[in-house]
Amino acid sequence: MRILLYKDKLVEEIGHVQNERVVFLRYVRREDMPKCKCGEAIDEKISIIEGCRNWESEIEGVETILTKFHD
C-alpha cells in the first residue's frame, strides 16, 4: 500500500474498491485527524476517488524506500 500526503498530513492507503478507483486512506498520526469541539478525533478514515479533482488538488505522493527502488 502507498503512503501519501492528504492536505499536508501523512496518510496510508488501507484498501480500495471498484477496480481500484475508490481509495480508502487512514491518517498515520492520530494528532493529524480532524477533531470535533470536544477534542475527539473524527474522520479517522478517508475515502476518495483516485484521479478526481479532489485527488489531484489534495493528494501528493511521498517517496519511500519502496517507491524509490520500484522504478
**Residue 68 to residue 50: CA distance in whole angstroms:** 21
70 pLDDT tier (thresholds 50, 70, 90): low
More confident residue, 18 or 2: 2
Dihedral of CA atoms 19, 22, 28, 33 in degrees, nearest 10, equals: -170
Pairing of strands 45-49, 22-27: antiparallel
Residues 46 and 25: beta-carbon distance below 8 Å: yes
Tell me the β-bridge partners of 53.
none
Looking at residue 68, its pLDDT comes to: 58
Whole-prediction pTM value? 0.77
**Residue 27 to residue 3: CA distance in whole angstroms:** 10
Task: Give residue-wise pLDDT tens across range 14-66.
Answer: 998 877 789 999 999 888 888 888 877 777 789 999 999 999 999 998 877 66
